[in-house]
Structure 1
Amino acid sequence: MNKLKVGLIVVMLAIIAIVGGYATYTYNPGSSNGTVKITDMADRTVYVPAEITKVLSTSPPSTNTIYMIAPDKLGGWNSNLTNEQKKYIPSKYQELPVIGGWYSTFQGNPENFISQNPSIILYDKANLGNSSVDIDNLQQMMGSIPVVEIENSLNATNYTGAIQFTGKLLGETEKANELVDFYENVLTQVNTTVSTIPEDQKVRVYYAEGAAGLQTDPSGSPHSQLIDICGGVNVAQVPLKGGNGMSEVNMEQVLQWNPDVIITNNPQFYSKVYTNSSWQDVKAVKDKKVYLAPTTPLGWFDRPPGANVIIGIPWTAKVLYPDKFKNLNMTQLTKEFYSAFYHVNLTDEDVKYIMGNQTLD
């Protein structure tokens, strides 16, 4: 074998070892179907079936990632789908069983998982919650079903590794690369423009949560991170709250912060903010710059965290700096995102409905 061939083999082995976060990927003929030795995203060695046919996850961010990459291998949802969500999820996936999970304040039931006989179970370390289960405890609960750790939900500037890891694990590398291409393209476009905005010209933003709009998350929170990523200044001067976030504030604080733009994901707050006398002196309200982030089938801006907020990156950039992002066509991007990530094809009317008839293009 000549040196060129040897060199090519070494390169290919190196690629196999690192793509998607795998340190090793070795066939093990110890069982009838064979297993694959992998290193998960917590550097744990795990033996998984060579052919993975059904996957469950302990929390919504990684469940949603499975659905995006390999919907036919998803074995269940963590909670019931709403009627709104079902509008933009193909019917064949709507009736998957609801298995619960370990996230937020929810404590799952291992029997719900075991009874579905999955090939593997994904555990999302960054589940933002108060659930106390760790991966070692979870593996004990699940017996012989391999539990694989993935880290994908907290950092919207770093989804590539988790998407590629999941794609490799599930035998869907090409699909994972398609999603990564979309993600990295919009993130690069936004970063390139945002990096040129002087600090004194950045838009000041308040993230209004809850029906009264008097809960929020400051800079540094995964719930409000798109403000930072898209070049805004988060005005909330409150302690960073872990878990589900949503720090309580009062109207006097909001008036003092006096944001240029308000983003909310609460329809009740949005429907009343322009007629609520308490908010009339806030600059964003006076300037008609309150925006309702789309939430169908999953949040664009927040909740749950995860790859679903990728489409929220160009949306938030466009909300904050419409003149600087005229090149971002939200109708076209939304159609591309929903086709690639949610497996549905949208009409222009669908896009208008999802965006609440808020015109950004």
Structure 2
Amino acid sequence: MGRFFPIFVFTLLSVSLGFCVTVTDSLGRVVHIEEPVKRVITNYGLLPPFIYLLGEGDKFYAGMFLGKEFYRLLDEEVQKKVLKGRSLNIEFVKKENPQVVISAYWQANQRDVKQLEALGIPVVFVKLESVEDINNTIRILGKIFGKEEKAEEMINYYSKSLSDLKDYVKGISTKPSVLIVFYDGRAHSYRTFGGDMFQSKLVELAGGICVSRDLRGKKAINAEQVARWDPDVILIIQYRSSAQKVKKFIFADPLWKRTEAARKGRVYIVPNDGENWIDPCPMWILGLYWCAKILHPEILQDLDLKKMAEEFYERFFNLDLERVKIMGDFTF
């Protein structure tokens, strides 16, 4: 083990002497971490936003990001923290010597994770596939960073806001059918989300019926499939490609533009501040309310979503909404 043997020994001593924090991760594994926690690495692209949410960006040394633009407002050093590739570079992790590495639950059997554990570097696995998963992950992070109170504040906000939204939509008699779509530039195909994905679950919570609910995972779709579904509403997510280009394509393609959504002009680009609002990110609650207002404007006509967003960014990120560049159909 060379110079990493002392790390392993110190970890054991920390546990035995009580100088550690103990967490149960999303896989039910009990993990002991030396405290106070000051150095964290993650290769889970969805996780960094939640670390910044708790105000612990200075403890975050390297990780994957799905969107970096928003986090430049919070951390001038964020560009230096970006990991390249989806897998962990073991040599890089050794060099950085983190107190803990946080990974996605589906990475649990990867060889590099096992190598880290062999070096005495704790690995925590988290999950972000549902609202319950998000709350659990926030609690795990809160315990790791000693920010349990902040974590519970966030969870309580989500829970209260979700409960209020459910009260809004519980009396709905007609639920529109919804297709979520994004363009995968790597595969050169249009894709959607299955019913097991967070994005589809959010649409259902907002009072819609996801046309792809019988699928699993991210799936490529074609115009013929979309025509058979004939969704009432189409929501476009933007990642690397321009959502405006996708929107133009929908209104130009003969099959796509025959859909009820295109005919009625109910094709919308999901708001994005660097993170898509209907992805499992801290802003998911804004995405839920946005989606509900898109689907049921008559019920949520009094909702001031801009005010809600202003209060959210100020309260949890200490940011004025005017500094946040929100792309997409966020016009009310």
TM-score normalized by the length of structure 2: 0.81
Query: 1:149 maps to what in 2?
Result: 125
**Matching of residues 105-144 of structure 1 within 5 Å:** 106-126=86-106, 133=110, 137=114, 139-140=116-117, 143-144=119-120
**Matching of residues 120-199 of structure 1 within 5 Å:** 120-126=100-106, 133=110, 137=114, 139-140=116-117, 143-151=119-127, 153-198=128-173
Q: In structure 2, do the counterparts of structure 1 residues 237 and 71 end up closer, same or farther at CA, with 3 Å as the change threshold?
A: closer
> Is residue 299 of structure 1 aligned with residue 276 of structure 2?
yes
> Is residue 259 of structure 1 aligned with residue 214 of structure 2?
no
| Contact 1:208–1:214 (CA under 8 A) maintained in structure 2 | yes
Distance 2:112 2:318 in 1: 31
| Residue identity opposite 1:287 in structure 2 | K
Q: In structure 2, do the counterparts of structure 1 residues 124 and 138 end up closer, same or farther at CA, with 3 Å as the change threshold?
A: farther
Query: 1:320 maps to what in 2?
Result: 295
Distance 2:176 2:208 in 1: 5
| Contact 1:235–1:257 (CA under 8 A) maintained in structure 2 | yes
**Matching of residues 5-154 of structure 1 within 5 Å:** 30=16, 34-69=19-54, 70-79=56-65, 82=68, 84-85=69-70, 89-100=73-84, 106-126=86-106, 133=110, 137=114, 139-140=116-117, 143-151=119-127, 153-154=128-129
| Residue identity opposite 2:135 in structure 1 | T
Which of 183, 190, 195 is the equivalent residue of 1:210? Answer: 183
Gaps of at least 5 residues in structure 1 are 1-26
Distance 1:126 1:214 in 2: 24
Distance 1:51 1:237 in 2: 43
Gaps of at least 5 residues in structure 2 are 1-12
| Residue identity opposite 2:178 in structure 1 | V
| Residue identity opposite 1:73 in structure 2 | K
> Is residue 356 of structure 1 aligned with residue 301 of structure 2?
no
Query: 1:8 maps to what in 2?
Result: none
* 1:199-219 Cα shifts (integer Å, max 9, x gaps): xx1111111221788422233
| Residue identity opposite 2:76 in structure 1 | K
Q: How many residues align?
A: 311
Shift of 1:357: 5.3
Distance 1:299 1:139 in 2: 32
**Identity percentage of aligned residues:** 25
> Is residue 248 of structure 1 aligned with residue 220 of structure 2?
yes
Distance 2:221 2:32 in 1: 48
Distance 2:90 2:253 in 1: 47
Shift of 1:154: 0.7
Q: CA RMSD in A?
A: 3.0
* 1:277-301 Cα shifts (integer Å, max 9, x gaps): 4433211111111110122221112
- Tell me the SS of whatever aligns to 1:311: helix
Q: In structure 2, do the counterparts of structure 1 residues 239 and 158 end up closer, same or farther at CA, with 3 Å as the change threshold?
A: closer
* 1:289-344 Cα shifts (integer Å, max 9, x gaps): 11101222211123xx3434232111111111111123432112222333344442
- Tell me the SS of whatever aligns to 2:202: helix
Shift of 1:74: 1.3
- Tell me the SS of whatever aligns to 2:124: strand
| Contact 1:79–1:100 (CA under 8 A) maintained in structure 2 | no
Distance 2:307 2:112 in 1: 40
Distance 2:20 2:97 in 1: 16
Distance 2:102 2:231 in 1: 40
- The range that moved more, 183-192 or 285-294, is 183-192
Query: 1:19 maps to what in 2?
Result: none
